[in-house]
Amino acid sequence: MITITTTEDLAAFCKEAATFDYVTVDTEFLRERTYYAKLCLVQLAMPREGDDSAVLVDPLAEGLSLQPLWDLMADKAVVKVFHAARQDLEIFFHDGDVIPEPLFDTQVAAMVCGFGEQVGYETLVRKIAKEQVDKSSRFTDWSRRPLTDAQKTYALADVTHLRIVYEYLEAALRKNQREKWVREELAILQSADTYQIDPDVAWKRVKTRTSSGKFLAIVRELAKFREAYAQERNVPRNRVFKDDALSELASTKPKDINELGRSRLLLRDARKGDIAEGILAAVKAGLACKPEDMPKADTRFDKQNVNPALADMLRVLLKAKTESMGVASKLIATAAELDMIASGERDLAALKGWRKEAFGDDALRLCDGEIALAVKGRVVQVVEL
């Protein structure tokens, strides 16, 4: 097992990797104590025989520059193959200012090829490569050195078997003529907006049961402060204060340190210093918000707007479509999106791109009374009206 610790060796490996059509990639990282993930290990494999075809790269090695890796990730002549790539890409975006292109995500491809929803790497390796993956080192602290042989073997398995999985899925997509479907999905992963959280819109991630404009204005300001504070100091947002404490603060509206100290859910460190001052300033800004500037709750998920019978019919249609195509249903539409279609919402991913072709067109026709559903034997069929 080769572990690269010098820039020279990394450059040599990446130079050879760039001569192949694709390279498989994975990372190990820590994120429990930071806002941004700490990259601890990179695994790379080329599609050729030999023990030196797969390597571990140690980003923690003194003097090692990852620039050759970033250059390889930007090389448009080489497909970069990941499994469940989102967190890996987020690290590459923030650490190397690069989003791998072209990109292939075997989890996305597997969902299109009938392997189920968010299928795990071990499952694909077992079904396609006919191998078993030892996951005993899954909960390793990857920042500690030296790594054991067991840890290195575990890490390398994430890119060596991935070569077989990729070649199988890539061939299946070509056979089914569904490459376009995967490309549309990967466009989201390749957008820089996916990895940039704007503090101004962080409030939309907070789940609340109150639609009051004043309440939401305070939630917006508190979430904005928390996100900016966490990003600046590279700490998890929940270490600043958690969502339940945020909702409590939006309800109690503390005006000074004494009132802030009465919070039941606020962490001790948040009752003093910069965090306390930030909370009080955020509450004050929320209270001062003009009515016309107050945020509005997203009512698209309001159950009272949903036609429940139509929503159930859309579920049956989706299940029938996905079973016949061999595609994971949640890749096309979630239960919430089906409810939104039944309530009249039309600006949805399920009604655009390849999803529109696979499901959306018939979903809209069902809503408009142009088709019906019938059962023939054990199969649900679309019937023209």
Residue 216 CB partners (closer than 8 Å, separation 6+): 203, 208, 210, 250, 294, 295, 296, 297
Task: Say whether pLDDT at 118 is over 90.
Answer: no
Considering the domain architecture, whether residues 275 and 356 belong to the same structural domain is answered as no
How far is residue 77's CA from residue 18's CA, in Å, rounded to a whole number? 8
Q: Specify the pairing of strand 2-4 against strand 79-82.
A: unpaired
Considering the domain architecture, whether residues 281 and 319 belong to the same structural domain is answered as no
Considering the domain architecture, whether residues 188 and 56 belong to the same structural domain is answered as yes
3-state secondary structure of 371: strand
Considering the domain architecture, whether residues 210 and 189 belong to the same structural domain is answered as no
Task: Give the pair of three-digit tokens for residue 131.
Answer: 């191998």
Among 233, 168, 249, 238, which Cα is nearest to 202's? 238
Domain of residue 377, CATH code? 1.10.150
Considering the domain architecture, whether residues 34 and 102 belong to the same structural domain is answered as yes
Average pLDDT over the chain, rounded to an integer:
94
Considering the domain architecture, whether residues 191 and 313 belong to the same structural domain is answered as no
3-state secondary structure of 72: helix
pLDDT band of residue 50 (cuts 50, 70, 90) is very high
pLDDT band of residue 266 (cuts 50, 70, 90) is very high
pLDDT band of residue 300 (cuts 50, 70, 90) is low
b (16+ CB within 10 A) / e for 275-300: bbebbbebbebbeebeeeebbeeeeb
Helix (H) / strand (E) containing 260: helix 257-260
Considering the domain architecture, whether residues 188 and 316 belong to the same structural domain is answered as no
Tens digits of per-residue pLDDT, 345-365?
999 999 999 999 999 999 999
Last residue of a domain, one of 137, 162, 195: 195
**Which of 219-228, 355-364, 370-379 shows the lowest mean pLDDT across its residues?**
370-379
pLDDT band of residue 301 (cuts 50, 70, 90) is low
Q: Specify the pairing of strand 103-105 against strand 79-82.
A: parallel
How far is residue 85's CA from residue 195's CA, in Å, rounded to a whole number? 12
Considering the domain architecture, whether residues 22 and 144 belong to the same structural domain is answered as yes
Considering the domain architecture, whether residues 46 and 112 belong to the same structural domain is answered as yes
**What is residue 145's predicted lDDT score, i.e. its pLDDT?**
95
Tens digits of per-residue pLDDT, 1-43?
899 999 999 999 999 999 999 999 999 999 999 999 999 999 9
Residue 45 CB partners (closer than 8 Å, separation 6+): 23, 24, 53, 54, 55, 156, 159, 160, 162, 163
b (16+ CB within 10 A) / e for 21-47: ebbbbbbbbeeeeebbbbbbbbbbbbb
Domain of residue 152, CATH code? 3.30.420.10
**What is residue 211's predicted lDDT score, i.e. its pLDDT?**
84
Considering the domain architecture, whether residues 363 and 286 belong to the same structural domain is answered as no
Task: Identify residue 13 by its one-letter amino acid code.
Answer: F
Considering the domain architecture, whether residues 110 and 246 belong to the same structural domain is answered as no
Domain of residue 262, CATH code? 1.10.150.80
Tens digits of per-residue pLDDT, 72-107?
999 999 999 999 999 999 999 999 999 999 999 999
Tens digits of per-residue pLDDT, 181-212?
999 999 999 999 999 999 999 999 999 888 89
| Cα four-point dihedral sign 354, 358, 360, 365 | positive
Domain count, the chain: 3
Task: Say whether pLDDT at 133 is over 90.
Answer: no
How far is residue 173's CA from residue 170's CA, in Å, rounded to a whole number? 5
| Contact assessment for residue 40 and residue 143, using Cβ atoms and an 8 Å cutoff | yes
pLDDT band of residue 299 (cuts 50, 70, 90) is low
Among 81, 327, 46, which Cα is nearest to 186's? 81
Last residue of a domain, one of 195, 216, 243: 195
How far is residue 164's CA from residue 182's CA, in Å, rounded to a whole number? 18
Domain that holds residue 353: 300-384
Mean pLDDT value of segment 230-240: 97
Phi–psi pair at 105, nearest 5 degrees: -115, 115
pLDDT band of residue 304 (cuts 50, 70, 90) is low
Considering the domain architecture, whether residues 76 and 163 belong to the same structural domain is answered as yes
